[in-house]
């Protein structure tokens, strides 16, 4: 790397820190123009990609409404005191597809993580991921724990050890239940970061990301058949195709579409549909929910097409700042909505029209997400970023605080 490139990279890092951008935000101005990046090959668009922020927020809302309106009837009977499909007889079947919002999350994650890691050192990547996830996650656990342990939680009160295990974000490999059911998505994200860090350590290039996509695809296909539990836990076969396709879409966005990249996307789409439609080994519980499989294929295909539109630059004119703000609320809304919302519905669901209760609850959760993101997550993440940036990551022992006593003669 030349001295000029180092100065430009340092300047970008400084600007990012001053502006307190989200870790998965696209650096650079919002002009939508193409800009030459030193050593990066073809010109790259440098806008904020507000369309992705909007899609992330819509994905979060779809999951929220799924949990409140489209859940499995037997699960929601505890909350509404009657099956949810009788509370929302017409809407229940439609909002049940909101559970697929997680798949859209993973697609977008593959895109933005590859984007945000480009040109960063492993140290920068580690700091950005830690400060992006843990401050909001710990704040959400604190709020959720208060609701679960001190409110009239309809699903009971888990053992306190569950709380301590969940604070690590490693409850899945530890074999501990989630304090809140929505936390299950964090383990696939962590595995993605862990394995992708190897590529970041070597330095992101077009070739290395393509090879990583290929190796991950092969591992995701072979792990279940080989019955290797550790490998299956690490590669997350049902989730992997979405991350992989997201990375391929980013390469299209950064460079240009090629037959190889379209092939990766097509293979990921097929593998994703395989796991989506598999009665056993997939993510969906076919015993409790049996939607039209044609609709499942259509919804997931639309997700791929939406990210393709972003990758091809068709959404570059979308620059509304409100979408960017909405994008920052996605993570807190996703983490906070379930425990709080379920308790609100349990207490007030029979006191007013169900739709009024649901919509008021969602509006309140969006407002709460803004407050927590603005006054808790952002300051804590900024302080953590500053502290970690000044920390020494070397394995070399620091200077001892006390000098060793001189040997007696």
pLDDT along the chain (409 residues), means of 10: 45 40 36 37 55 97 94 73 85 89 97 96 95 97 93 81 96 94 95 96 96 96 85 93 98 97 98 84 59 84 98 94 95 96 89 94 98 96 94 76 68
At 12 the pLDDT is: 44
pLDDT of residue 350: 83
Which residues pair with residue 44 across a beta bridge?
35
Partner residues linked to 34 by β-bridges: 45
CA quadruple 242, 118, 233, 334: dihedral sign: negative
Tokens of 280: 């056993």
Predicted pLDDT of residue 225 = 81
How far apart CA 15 and CA 200 sit, in angstroms, is: 21
Residue 221's pLDDT is what?
92
Measured distance CA(315)–CA(363) in Å, rounded = 27
d(CA 209, CA 203): 10
Model pLDDT, residue 362: 98
Query: What residues does 45 pair with on adjacent strands?
Result: 34
């Amino acid at each position: 790397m030349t001295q000029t490139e180092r100065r430009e990279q340092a300047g970008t890092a400084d600007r990012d820190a001053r502006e307190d951008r989200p870790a998965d935000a696209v650096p650079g101005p919002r002009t939508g123009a193409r800009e030459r990046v030193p050593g990066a090959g073809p010109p790259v668009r440098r806008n904020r990609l507000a369309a992705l922020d909007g899609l992330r927020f819509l994905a979060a809302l779809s999951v929220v409404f799924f949990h409140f309106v489209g859940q499995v009837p037997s699960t929601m009977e505890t909350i509404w005191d009657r099956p949810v499909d009788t509370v929302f007889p017409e809407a229940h079947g439609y909002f049940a597809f909101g559970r697929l919002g997680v798949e859209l999350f993973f697609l977008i994650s593959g895109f933005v993580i590859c984007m945000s890691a480009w040109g960063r050192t492993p140290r920068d990547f580690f700091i950005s991921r830690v400060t992006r996830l843990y401050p909001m996650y710990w704040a959400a656990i604190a709020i959720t724990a208060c609701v679960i342990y001190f409110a009239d939680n309809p699903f009971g009160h888990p053992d306190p050890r569950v709380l301590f295990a969940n604070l690590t974000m490693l409850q899945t490999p530890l074999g501990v239940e989630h304090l809140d059911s929505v936390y299950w998505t964090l383990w696939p994200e962590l595995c993605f970061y862990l394995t992708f860090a190897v590529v970041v350590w070597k330095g992101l290039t077009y070739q290395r990301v393509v090879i990583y996509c290929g190796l991950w695809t092969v591992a995701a296909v072979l792990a279940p058949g080989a019955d290797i539990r550790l490998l299956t836990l690490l590669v997350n076969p049902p989730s992997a195709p979405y991350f992989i396709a997201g990375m391929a879409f980013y390469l299209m966005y950064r460079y240009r579409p090629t037959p190889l990249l379209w092939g990766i996307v097509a293979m990921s789409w097929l593998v994703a549909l395989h796991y989506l439609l598999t009665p056993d080994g997939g993510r969906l519980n076919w015993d409790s929910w049996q939607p039209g499989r044609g609709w499942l294929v259509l919804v997931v295909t639309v997700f791929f097409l939406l990210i393709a539109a972003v990758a091809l630059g068709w959404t570059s004119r979308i620059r509304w700042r409100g979408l960017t703000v909405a994008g920052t609320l996605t993570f807190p809304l996703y983490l906070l909505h379930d425990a709080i919302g379920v308790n609100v519905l349990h207490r007030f669901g029979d006191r007013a029209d169900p739709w009024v209760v649901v919509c008021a609850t969602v509006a309140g959760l969006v407002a709460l997400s803004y407050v927590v993101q603005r006054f808790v997550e952002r300051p804590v993440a900024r302080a953590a970023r500053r502290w970690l940036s000044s920390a020494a990551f070397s394995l070399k022992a620091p200077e001892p605080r006390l000098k060793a006593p001189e040997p007696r003669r």
